[in-house]
Amino acid sequence: MSLEINSNYLIIGVVALVLSNIITSLLTRTFVRSNSTSFLKDAKLKAKAIEKDADFILKDAKIRAKEYELQHRQDFDKILLNLENEIKEKIQNLKLDEKEILTQQNNLKKLQSEYEEKIRESNKLIEKSGGLTRDEAREIIFQKVEAEEQSRLTNLIRKYEERAKDEAEKKAQYILSLATTRFAGEFAAERLVNTIKLASDDIKGRIIGKEGRNIKRLEAILGVDIIVDGTPRSITLSSFNLYRRAIAVKTLERLIDDGRIQPARIEEIYEKVSQEFDREILKDGEDVIIELGLGVVHPELIKLVGKLRYRASYGQNALAHSIEVAYLAGMMTAEIGGDEILARRAGLLHDIGKSLTHDSGGNHVELGVEVCRKYGESEDIINGIYAHHEYEIAKTVEIATVCAADKLSAGRPGARREVLENSLKRIQMVEDIAMEHNGVEGAYAVNSGRELRVIVNSVMLSDDDALILSKQIARQIEAKIEKFPGDIIVNVIREKRIRSVAKSV
């Protein structure tokens, strides 16, 4: 019974719960519906307000757009009006210019007609006077005009050639004078003998040795002549080879200081002195290369440069001469815009073959070319060696300055020394060569024999003959006179003198 009652209560509770949920759901839906209706009404009101604002903004924008359009249209109309006025003005100016052009064309046609008429009249006149046809007359006129223009052109060319020659000569003199004033190097005149002072004449006997054994050994090893004469307390060493003579002087001085003068000691001292000289010439060469700023040079060439100190030409020291040529060539090249370092290098090496002539024999030009090619010098350097003795022409401005510098260094007063007798004999030979030719009235060697002035008969010889004679005399001097310092300039002077006398009544 009680179980049945509990079941009823449970059923009633479940039914009550279900009813409660149903009522709650109905109430919730009713609330939501009422709220949604309220929100919808508010949204519609706000949309209407926004639409009104948009309509107002659109109307305002349209009004402003019309105002902007009106303003820009007014500005455009003004610009268009200005352009139209400017175009009209230019069209008017063009019309005026066209009229002027037409006027000029008419004037030109008129002048051309007058010119043609004059030509026709000239042709008719020539035909009448000479019986010539029109073509023949025209040819005569053309020939005359051509001759006049050719003469005018020739005079103009001659005028400009003379002006260019004068300017070139002035420029050359300026460059030479500038180079010589900037470089005033000393020169060293070499002698053919050296004198060694002795403390007493007893040393002479020790130098000669028993039965002349020591002096014979000395001359054989040193390669020089040792002169032991009556001059008190001195002996003389003679040799054309300056290098060998310098070694001989140093060797003898060491032997005299040592006191032991005998064959074995002579050879020992000679070997030591020779080694010292080898080191000295290398150092001398290196110092010169550094002084001139020549960069990399082969060590063997550096030795030969140093050895030039012991070589001379007509009494002028070869190394001093080469350094002087290098400096002068470099300065002249710098003035005319060339490669100064190349000019210095070519100037220093132009006589490098003279370091080998005593040992190898032969021409110093060929020896210099051979050794420079062997040690990788450029063709410009080779050209410089050839060109300074006119074996080739100078191919570059740098080599041309080397040739000029070589003549400057060798030709300046006091640089080279000769025996007076030989100099006088050579001058007489030069004059005699000139006097052998027909038409020569006088020949005079001037400037220490460096210039030959030949006076010729203007009736017997023409200007062309004088030119040929000058070259013939120069070739004969080269063939008949073996050695002469520098160049000899042959000037043939031909002048015609006409004299008239005004007599008094």
Please write down the HEC assignment for all residues of 23-37: HHHHHHHHHHHHHHH
Q: Residue 221's Cα: distance from chain center in Å?
A: 49
Measured distance CA(482)–CA(411) in Å, rounded: 18
For the ranges 5-14, 19-28, 331-340, the one whose mean pLDDT is highest: 331-340
Place of tokens 């030959």: 452
**Does residue 290 surpass a pLDDT of 60?**
yes
Task: For residue 218, count other CB atoms closer than 10 A to its CB.
Answer: 24
Measured distance CA(353)–CA(304) in Å, rounded: 8
Structure tokens at 315: 């009494």
Residue 218 confidence (pLDDT):
82
Q: In what order do the strands lie in the sheet with 225-227?
A: 193-197, 234-238, 225-227
Residue 311 has φ and ψ, to the nearest 5°, of -140, 140
| 319-342 average pLDDT score | 87
What is the per-residue burial (b if ≥16 Cβ within 10 Å, else e) of 71-92? eeeeeeeeeeeeeeeeeeeeee
Structure tokens at 223: 């390669």
pLDDT tens across 139-149, in order? Answer: 766 676 666 66
pLDDT higher for 487 or 471?
Answer: 471
Residue 307 confidence (pLDDT):
87
The region of weakest confidence among 109-113, 161-165, 206-210, 231-235 is: 161-165
pLDDT tens across 57-111, in order? Answer: 767 767 776 776 777 777 777 877 777 777 777 767 666 666 676 776 777 777 7
Residue 188 confidence (pLDDT):
45
Single-letter amino acid, residue 231: T
**Does residue 161 surpass a pLDDT of 80?**
no
Residue 209 confidence (pLDDT):
80
Task: For residue 190, count other CB atoms closer than 10 A to its CB.
Answer: 18
Pick from 116, 379, 358, 101: which is nearest to 243 by CA? 358
**Does residue 7 surpass a pLDDT of 60?**
no
In three-state form (DSSP H/G/I as H, E/B as E, the rest C), the secondary structure along 326-340 is: HHHHHHHHHHCCCCH
Residue 488 confidence (pLDDT):
85
Mean pLDDT of the chain: 76
What is the per-residue burial (b if ≥16 Cβ within 10 Å, else e) of 305-335? bbbbbbbbbbbbbbbbbbbbbbbbbbbbbbb
Place of tokens 């570059």: 396
Q: Residue 156's Cα: distance from chain center in Å?
A: 31
Residue 189 confidence (pLDDT):
45
| 299-304 average pLDDT score | 90
**Does residue 472 surpass a pLDDT of 50?**
yes
Task: For residue 417, count other CB atoms closer than 10 A to its CB.
Answer: 16
pLDDT higher for 32 or 342?
Answer: 342
Each domain of the chain, given as residue ranges in start order, spans: 134-163, 190-299, 315-416, 420-493
Q: Are 385 and 406 in contact (CB under 8 A)?
A: no
Measured distance CA(250)–CA(268) in Å, rounded: 13
| 105-126 average pLDDT score | 71
pLDDT tens across 270-289, in order? Answer: 888 888 888 888 898 899 88
| 421-439 average pLDDT score | 79
Residue 379 confidence (pLDDT):
92
- CA distances in angstroms from 239 to 261, 355, 485, listed in the order given: 22, 16, 21
Task: For residue 478, count other CB atoms closer than 10 A to its CB.
Answer: 11
Task: Name the CATH topology of 315-416.
Answer: Hypothetical protein af1432 (1.10.3210)
Q: Are 266 and 250 in contact (CB under 8 A)?
A: no
**Does residue 392 surpass a pLDDT of 70?**
yes
pLDDT higher for 400 or 358?
Answer: 400
For the ranges 93-102, 117-126, 216-225, 243-252, the one whose mean pLDDT is highest: 243-252
Q: How many degrees, rounded to 5, is the angle at CA 228 between CA 227 and CA 234? A: 105
pLDDT band at 187 (very low <50, low <70, confident <90, very high): very low
Residue 383 confidence (pLDDT):
92
**Does residue 291 surpass a pLDDT of 70?**
yes
**Does residue 182 surpass a pLDDT of 60?**
no
**Does residue 487 surpass a pLDDT of 80?**
no
Residue 405 confidence (pLDDT):
85
**Residues β-bridged to residue 446:** 451
Residue 141 confidence (pLDDT):
63
pLDDT higher for 479 or 16?
Answer: 479
pLDDT higher for 405 or 496?
Answer: 405
Pick from 309, 316, 251, 317: which is nearest to 283 by CA? 309
The answer to whether domain 315-416 and domain 420-493 are alike in fold is no
Residue 417 confidence (pLDDT):
53
For the ranges 115-119, 150-154, 186-190, the one whose mean pLDDT is highest: 115-119
316-317 vs 312-313, strand pairing mode: antiparallel
Structure tokens at 453: 């002035």
Residue 382 confidence (pLDDT):
92
CATH of domain 190-299: 3.30.1370.10
**Does residue 132 surpass a pLDDT of 60?**
no
Measured distance CA(416)–CA(422) in Å, rounded: 14
pTM of the model: 0.48
Task: Name the CATH topology of 420-493.
Answer: Alpha-Beta Plaits (3.30.70)
pLDDT tens across 444-470, in order? Answer: 776 667 778 888 888 888 888 888 888
